[in-house]
Amino acid sequence: MCPDRASPTPKRRLLAEAAFWHPRQRVGWAGWGYVGLVLFLLFYPFGSDGDPALWKEILPYGIHAGMWAGLVWSLWPLAKGRREGQWMLFGVLVLAGGLSEIAQGWVGRTPEWRDWGMDTLGASVAFLYGRGWRKSGVGLGVAVVAMLLAVVGFRWNEEWRAHPVLADGTQRWSRYRWERNGVRIRYAKRFFHIVRDTEKAEPYPGIFRLPLRHDWTGSRGMELKVYWPRRNGGDGILGIRVDDRNGNPPYDDRWQAEVPVSKGWNTLVLDQDWLVTPGGRTMDARHIRTWGVFVVSSPETNYFRLARARLLTE
């Protein structure tokens, strides 16, 4: 005998309650759980260090768009099928996106108005789709994805055209693809602030970057502008390293220079035995993998700054 449609079996009832849209136009517990997850992600004090990969430039924006699309979709039953309620829900969630950015400053996060813009776009996709304008919603969704991909292309183009500049504290493109060894990276308007991570007592703390352009043919050296603290200790020694092979090649199989730095800003010009390893091998300038700056000797100093790094060309 078939069960009565008006009295669903416990299994069917569980599935209905778990759904984002309850059969009786109520928000299911999965929908409210999603709201709680969004609130957690918004206000959890994630670190603000630099990210090593460019894809992390677009990932937060994509997450914001997806979260707000999910919020609109999850809470859609609250509108009770009324047009006024749907518009009110959309407006409240867009406003909540802006207020959440302001509130993030209270938990150590940095407010980003671009995040609010992505919140609004994501909410718009779900709103259009929920209103029955399927083609408009899908079209806007495609436009959001295309915009995120365009950000990647734009950053790549900026770095490609900036060559022989390898890093510039004033340019956003140079914030990505850094690898950190026992340090944290903080960004100022004109330089990178590299701080020793006291929780990770790594030897030779520093930063290493994966260049977008691996071909350094025609270069004759490197120039860096670095700052050594005035407050603590005395002069120090920085190491500059270039690898043309993956992994961590031994000392005799990489180019490396160790230079003294004094208090204040230093301009370092490195052109002696350029791209010739201590073992006597001439490196393959067409396939440079990484370059980096690290601390060799540090008398009571826990940070340094890097403003700019560029190749010296013929």
Render pLDDT for 54-81 as a digit per residue (tens, 0 to 9): 455 566 667 777 777 878 877 777 776 7
Length of the chain: 314
Provide mean pLDDT across the span 100-109: 69
Name the nearest CA neighbour of 310 among 152, 156, 155, 159.
159
Provide mean pLDDT across the span 227-236: 76
Q: Does domain 165-313 have CATH number 2.60.120.430?
A: yes
List C-alpha distances in Å: 54 to 7, 111, 192: 53, 20, 17
Provide mean pLDDT across the span 213-228: 94
Per the structure block, which two tokens stand in for 34? Answer: 């999603």
Listed in sequence order, the DSSP H helices in the chain are 10-18, 29-43, 55-75, 83-104, 113-130, 134-162
Helix (H) or strand (E) holding 312, with range, is strand 303-313
pLDDT at 261: 92
The share of the chain scoring above pLDDT 90, in percent, equals 28
Provide mean pLDDT across the span 237-255: 92
Q: Report DSSP state, residue 189.
A: S
pLDDT at 293: 95
Provide mean pLDDT across the span 36-52: 51
The pLDDT of residue 297 is above 50: yes
pLDDT at 216: 95
CB 238 within 8 A of CB 293: yes
Q: What is the pTM of this model?
A: 0.60
- Distant-in-sequence, close-in-space partners of 130: CB < 8 Å, separation ≥ 6: 72, 73, 76, 86, 137
CB 309 within 8 A of CB 165: yes
List C-alpha distances in Å: 136 to 130, 131, 139, 140, 283: 11, 10, 5, 6, 54
Residue 118 pLDDT grade (very low, low, confident, very high; cuts 50, 70, 90): confident
The pLDDT of residue 185 is above 80: yes
Burial class of residue 264 in the structure, from the number of CB atoms within 10 Å of its CB (0-12 exposed, 13-18 middle, 19+ buried): exposed
Among 138-142, 150-154, 193-197, the minimum mean pLDDT is found in 138-142
Domain boundaries, the chain: 10-158, 165-313
CB 45 within 8 A of CB 110: no
Residue 291 pLDDT grade (very low, low, confident, very high; cuts 50, 70, 90): very high
Q: Report DSSP state, residue 195.
A: E
